[in-house]
Structure 1
């Protein structure tokens, strides 16, 4: 009988909490109708990345030519990963959401961002065998107490039904902050930063990986992580992020 009364009790407690603490927009804090959502203004402020976009980099094209195309940037400097997709451009609203999750311990935003991630990455999630978050070095993880990429990957795994395995990739080098570095400096900074542990190679061998990150700037981190996964036995790596820096956006 206690088990039968638990669900109504939880609903009553949830309703009481919402009366005392009304749902607020996860970006600006304005009142909203449902928990962990965005107000109309912040939703309108997200610049979603939708087709037409480069099939390799996932960066948007200005004109829809009705074809699946690869951008000149992807041809001139092909990424290590096979395909990339992102929810939105990394502008004001997307930056606020990422920073609230990453630096303000607002883990309540992860579910909402993860749902958007699953929608943007439907194709990649369908094709993958396993989801792997971009790892943090253990010292940074200890200071932050959580990995934002892992928190985004959790709802993606739940929605897609694909397994999540953070043990397939380690960050073994404590790198300097990437902010302010050029693309070549970022690449050098990340040299040898990631590694597939020997005991994980059997689980990784021949599998298609969906790598998850919060923000892609130059792609240096994603390239370094993808290279380590491929060297560790992965068949291919796709990349899914919440936001992506788009030049001249």
Structure 2
């Protein structure tokens, strides 16, 4: 344990006295900081099996094998090499994301990242490169932080890869993707996301884990994946906290990385 960890442990009683541990969802008292109460833990839904080995959508047949792919991935293979989601997007995960992404509760990053890390299998070869989905500079200025970058930084602390926090850059503001068809989304994102020139050498021939908070339509993550592969990446896996899945009880799929309260915001990711 390093000096910083010893200091944090020494200050923990003081922090708990000033800020008593509370569940970030319901406000119930907790024994320690950084978790959820048992009732709220039970509300989180973890993607189950059988599911598509590529996109993680549930398979209709109970006889599906672990390596089986869904019809959509077989008919139109995605550019990415797989999706890892800590939870299915439901009311509980939505409230956590709202608090984290729009409520300024950045202290939730370690908790969300630990849940993502638990779902990430080790990739063969050298450590993967952790690359967050970028925000446009104006959105970053408005929000004050990139939630995907905070998650990627915490994932690096768990040993899931090496952080390359600004490998991708969003060159132009994009409109809300809500209600747009596939071709319209692709046009809106055309040329919007690139690999920074100084990161090309780091990205080349590396396994990439693209990190975001919520995954819905796949438009933004696809644009990021194509940019990374064009820069020479060996593979791109997508890791997120919540994955919107049709039939998960949240109605129609919402624009990727957007919670309901944010889908009309200009420059939405």
* Aligned position for 1:53: 51
The superposition leaves residues 113-145 of structure 1 with CA deviations (integer Å, 9 ceiling, x where unpaired) of 000010011345987531100011111111111
Give me the whole-angstrom Cα distance separating, in 2, the residues matched to 1:27 and 1:85: 24
Pairing partner for 2:39 from 28, 38, 41: 41
Paired residues in the alignment total 245
Could you state the TM-score of these two structures normalised by the residue count of structure 2? 0.83
Q: Is the 8 A contact 1:126 1:160 kept in 2?
A: no
The superposition leaves residues 53-76 of structure 1 with CA deviations (integer Å, 9 ceiling, x where unpaired) of 211102233544261210112122
* Aligned position for 2:97: 98
* Aligned position for 1:15: 13
Q: Is the 8 A contact 1:24 1:32 kept in 2?
A: yes
Give me the whole-angstrom Cα distance separating, in 1, the residues matched to 2:241 and 2:228: 21
Give me the whole-angstrom Cα distance separating, in 2, the residues matched to 1:145 and 1:6: 25
1:211–1:8: structure 2 CA closer, same or farther, 3 Å change rule? closer
The superposition leaves residues 68-116 of structure 1 with CA deviations (integer Å, 9 ceiling, x where unpaired) of 2101121223221111110111110011111111000101111000000
User: What RMSD over aligned residues (CA atoms) do the two structures have, in Å?
Assistant: 2.3
Which consecutive aligned stretches of 4+ in structure 1 deviate over 4 angstroms post-superposition? Answer: 5-12, 124-128
Report matched runs for 1:179-218 at 5 Å: 179-218=178-217
Q: Is the 8 A contact 1:52 1:60 kept in 2?
A: yes
Question: Comparing both structures, which one devotes a greater share of its residues to helix?
Answer: 1
SS in 1 for 2:211: strand
* Aligned position for 1:140: 139
1:11–1:119: structure 2 CA closer, same or farther, 3 Å change rule? closer
Give me the whole-angstrom Cα distance separating, in 1, the residues matched to 2:60 and 2:39: 24
* Aligned position for 1:248: 247
Report matched runs for 1:99-114 at 5 Å: 99-114=98-113
Unaligned runs of 5+ in 1: none
1:223–1:125: structure 2 CA closer, same or farther, 3 Å change rule? farther
